[in-house]
Structure 1
Amino acid sequence: MSAEKTLNDGPVGRALWSVSAPMTIGILGVLSVGLADAFFLARDGETSLAAIGYVFPVITALTSLSIGLSAGTNTVISQAIGRGEDAEDRRRMTLHAMSLALALACSVSLLIYLLSPYLYGAMGAEGEVLNKILGYMRFWCLSFPFLVTGMALNAVFRAAGRSGVAAVTMLLQALLNIALGPVLIFGIGPIPAFSMDGAGMASLIARMTSFAGLVLFARHAGVLRFDAAPWQGAIASVRRIVRVGAPAAMSNAINPLGMAIVTGFVATIGDTAVAGFGAATRVQGVVVVPLLALSSGIGPVVGQAWGAGDTARAREGLRLCHLACGVFGIAVAALLLMTAGPLAALMTSGSEAQAYTATYLRIASWGFMGYGVLITANAAMNARDRALWSMSLSGTRIFALYVPMTWAGVQLAGYPGMIIGALVANLISGWMALVAVRAVGLGVTGWAPVRVPSEWLAARLGGQGTPARD
């Protein structure tokens, strides 16, 4: 792979920064698409805003499946680089990962397209809101294979320490999507107004264009080749990718699945509450971009270090991640406490949903630090080839904490109760993540509230409290 970077030289903080910083820009661009869609659709009418509120958790869950698959690709490639494996073999792995991503994405797209009327109907959407959702999903499902296959290729660049390539690709795709959004939603000149369908069309065009450009660049850079026995070792590559990618995909999809369930709880309050909740979660998605960038950056750092046998470097990288999560989480919560009102007014165009958006941002933001610790821990465990641990952690967070606590909150105190339930679930999940990473040999040592349960957990699962290396 040309211009390949090792992440095992120099201070670990610098290596983490070199991967995470560019991804902040890239992820911000991608998430800004959802924010821009909510902004434009709020001006298209409250029906469109409510519709995108139903859509958001479902498409986030599907996108998270692709992120999990790219985590498998990242783990296989980064560990191969750390072990010094042949570049030709890694190029074959890249082709195998993209082929697997394309096949799975096409299957999922078809399934979701066929099930959308029943899925969104079960979530509480009906009438004109449901019609707008189905129109949007037609185009979104067509764009999904381009998104997933492109993410697999981006993961290869990140694994090699070249996150700038992935970040630029993500940013350019987002800019094109945002530029096309208002044109296709409201119409201009000879282009008619497509309303919410236009938002789906914009995503399709942007993803197709971005994927084509990324493939051309990958071939030029020598990352992707279609000759030299391309299918040699395909079964072995797919097995290695799936071993991490399958549980990682489930781990990533569990979180937005929980959000979809909670959207159903909010729907019992009314469509206005769903619109406000949807707008708030979009703001949340953009605000936590640095945490998502850290989770993207820690994977290659841990993967290359673990492949090279430098377990101390892997642990130090994750420690720095968790410290950053704590500082950032407190700072952003304090900021949102003061700015939630203006942000809510901007995202809801001053509609009745504004109060719901502002209330969520003021309260839920105090749990962002716990969420950051969780997702960076999951990324590190995936890179350390412990994807089942991260899947179990995410499953526990959603099904034992987030869903039950938000349901109880809605029953006891309505919408504010739901938010408090989400806050408590995130804080507990952060502590659980610290326990889990120590149990697999990636966490801090010597802190009793983490040490004791992690040793108990490792013993129950047949492992050791601080395993050295496979």
Structure 2
Amino acid sequence: MSRSPEAPARAVLRRRILGLALPICAALVVGAAAQSVIAALLGHMGDDALYVRSVFIPVAFLVLALQEGLDISTQVGFARLRGAQDVARTRRTLGAFVRTGALVFAVTALVIAVTAPWLASLLDVPAEQRAQFVEFARWMAVASALTVPTTIAAAALRGWGRPGLSAILSVLAAVIQVGGVWLVGEVGGLGVMSVPLATAASAVIGTAAASILLLREGLARGPRPASPTGVTAGETGEPGPTSSGVDVRGLLLGIGVPVGLSYLLLTVTNFVTVWILSSSGSSVVAGYGAAATVQTVLIVPAIGLAAAVGVVMNQQWGMGDLGLLPRTLRVGTTIVVGVYVTTGLLAFLTAPLVARLMAADPRVVEETELYLRVVGPSLAGLGIVLFLLTLLEQLGHGPVAVALNVAYAAVSLGIGGILARQGGGPEALYLVIACSNAVGVLVVLPLTSHLVRRKAAEVPASPAGAEVEPTDVDRTIESGIDR
């Protein structure tokens, strides 16, 4: 049986996407697990430690939004440089991102330091914990600013096609933070102040490790000499034929800002959901919290796959092969559909077991199971939608993604909140959320396909019926992933 001439190209794309996605997803899971472990450690240090960190969460989400905006902007920029084989501009681009990120975080740290007492009043921090909260907020702001070089380095390595090296930095930071909180906070008795100290330590050590990895890859120095056996993509000092460098300011404003807004919107959505459910009692809120924790873990693959597909598509963009974007989207979407149809089915089937693992109180178990039974199957739609929206952000359509996120929140929480508050209870809200997840696919998938096809049409199309095989640069990038 003869194979379709398109099969080899699809196989190359599938291998490249999965090769990028696996270490990215692993790093995301480790990072999320580390924060859970830190929370558990603080919970054993006394109520004050966990309370102070918990009340700081709204500020932490602001910092996270800034970090993610900087991270994704850097990833996109370096993916395009890699596609263009433009190692000559990597050092300059790194410097521009670091300087801009350092300035933004320095200003943010200063604002948090000055407004910390006011934030304590706004968040109703009791008088006996207010001084500790103010001190914690100020030092956390400083520690977060120190993470800028590591954040940029990890994103640059990811965009350059080295997800394994990027994951090393992320896992290293997580291990140091957890170990530092345990050693200094619990064993040493420093308590909650061990968190900023461990964060700062991970930032300093991470920066040193990042410098070594960036130098190893030739991204933080001048051009490497050509190999005696041939020139490898990204190893020449001359820009590729399609390269004109990357506009750091344009990436930060066009990609970083919408990404940050999306993360802030998620925070607002979570608070509104809790407010809607609060009228149904503490067991319902606790059950939702447990189920939302499970859901957060389940959507990690969507974010990792979107990052992987985004890297591949931006590398194609950088090398001028925009005509390959629709095919890459189809391959990536096929993978995501397979992953999330399975995920939705498992969430539904395992709801009773997972609920019992997440809680001991029978009432909380019942509410957790209710959410997973009602919303669980629709995680198939949520995963696909989240993948597509994240990908739109990485292709420069951040405002579209933000608008769709706002519309989703308005519909699901608006209609669901009204029905829940008027007697439908939490099940009414969950049913509306499930329907929104399903309907979202019908809206976001065709829109994403249209925007990608429109971008691909900006270059001359291949002759009718002609198959576009992977270029030498394609194969070089694939073979160089996580070498």
TM-score (norm 1): 0.76
Aligned residue in 1 for 2:235: none
Query: Cα deviation per residue 1:214-237 (whole Å; 9 max; x = unaligned)?
Result: 23432444322499xxxxx99953
Structure 1 residue 330: Cα displacement = 3.0
Consecutive unaligned residues of structure 2, counting only runs of 5 or more, are 1-8, 224-243, 461-483
The equivalent of 1:153 in structure 2 is: 153
Aligned AA (2:327) = E
Whole-angstrom distance in 2 between the partners of 1:152 and 1:322:
27
Determine the structure 1 residue equivalent to 2:401: 390
Q: Is the 8 A contact 1:405 1:425 kept in 2?
A: no
In structure 2, C-alpha distance between the alignment counterparts of 1:313 and 1:226, rounded to whole Å: 31
Is the Cα–Cα contact under 8 Å of residues 440 and 467 in structure 1 kept in the other structure? no
Q: Distance in 2 between matches of 1:235 and 1:467?
A: 21
- C-alpha offsets along residues 74-120 of structure 1, whole Å, 9 cap, x if unaligned? 222222332343x2212201111122112212323443455567668
Distance in structure 1 (CA, Å) of the matches to 2:129 and 2:362: 20
Preserved contact between residue 283 and residue 363 of structure 2 (Cα < 8 Å): yes
**AA aligned opposite 1:14:** R
Residues 1:237 and 2:236 aligned together: no
How many residues are matched?
430
Asked whether the equivalents of residues 75 and 311 of structure 2 are also in contact (C-alpha less than 8 Å), the reply is: yes
Secondary structure in 2 aligned to 1:165? helix
The Cα offsets for residues 36-91 of structure 1, whole Å up to 9 and x where unpaired, read as 24544566678877876665566345313322222222222222332343x22122
User: Cα gap change, 1:341/1:421 in structure 2, threshold over 3 Å: closer, same or farther?
Assistant: same
CA distance in 2, matches of 1:204, 1:410: 44
* Amino acid corresponding to residue 23 of structure 1 in structure 2: I
C-alpha spacing 1:267/1:62, structure 2 compared with 1 (3 Å): farther
The answer to whether residue 275 in structure 2 is matched with residue 261 in structure 1 is no
Residue identity matched to 1:407 = G
Please give the per-residue CA displacement for 1:299-334, whole angstroms capped at 9, x wherever unaligned. 111101123333343222222332333332232233
1:211–1:420 CA distance, 2 compared to 1 (3 A) = farther
Q: How far apart, CA to CA, are the structure 2 residues paired with 1:310 and 1:97?
A: 26
- Corresponding residue for residue 29 of structure 2: 28
> In the TM superposition, what are the counterparts of 1:224-373 in structure 2 within 5 Å?
224-225=220-221, 237-267=248-278, 274-340=285-351, 343-344=354-355, 346-347=357-358, 355-373=366-384
Question: CA–CA distance in 1 between the matches of 2:348 and 2:157?
Answer: 38
Deviation, structure 1 residue 465: 9.6
Confirm or deny: 8 A CA contact 1:150 1:211 kept in the other structure. Answer: yes
2:421 aligned partner: 411
| Higher-Rg member (1/2) | 2
2:193 is the counterpart of 1:192: no
1:217 alignment partner in structure 2: 213
Residues 265 and 410 in structure 1, CA contact (< 8 A), matched pair in contact too: yes
Q: Secondary structure at the match of 2:206?
A: helix
- Change in CA separation of 1:370 and 1:235 when aligned onto 2, cut-off 3 Å: closer
SS of aligned partner of 2:452: coil
Aligned partners of 2:115 and 2:362: how far apart in 1? 31
Q: Which residue of 2 aligns with 1:448?
A: none
* Runs (5+) with no aligned partner, structure 1: 1-7, 228-232, 443-463
Give per-residue Cα distances to partners, 1:229-264, cap 9 Å, x unaligned. Answer: xxxx99953344433322333234323332233344
2:13 maps to what in 1? 12
Question: Which residue of structure 1 aligns with residue 108 of structure 2?
Answer: 108
CA RMSD of aligned residues (A): 3.9
- The answer (yes or no) to whether the contact 1:303–1:384 under 8 Å persists in 2 is yes
Superposed displacement of residue 182, structure 1: 4.4
Given the alignment of the two structures, is residue 73 of structure 1 paired with residue 74 of structure 2, yes or no?
yes
Give the percent of matched residue pairs that are identical in Structure 1 and Structure 2: 17
Q: How far 1:379 sits from its partner (Å)? A: 3.6
Please state how far the C-alpha of 1:431 moved relative to its aligned partner.
2.8
Partner in structure 2 of residue 456 of structure 1: none
> 348-357 or 277-286, which moves further after superposition?
348-357
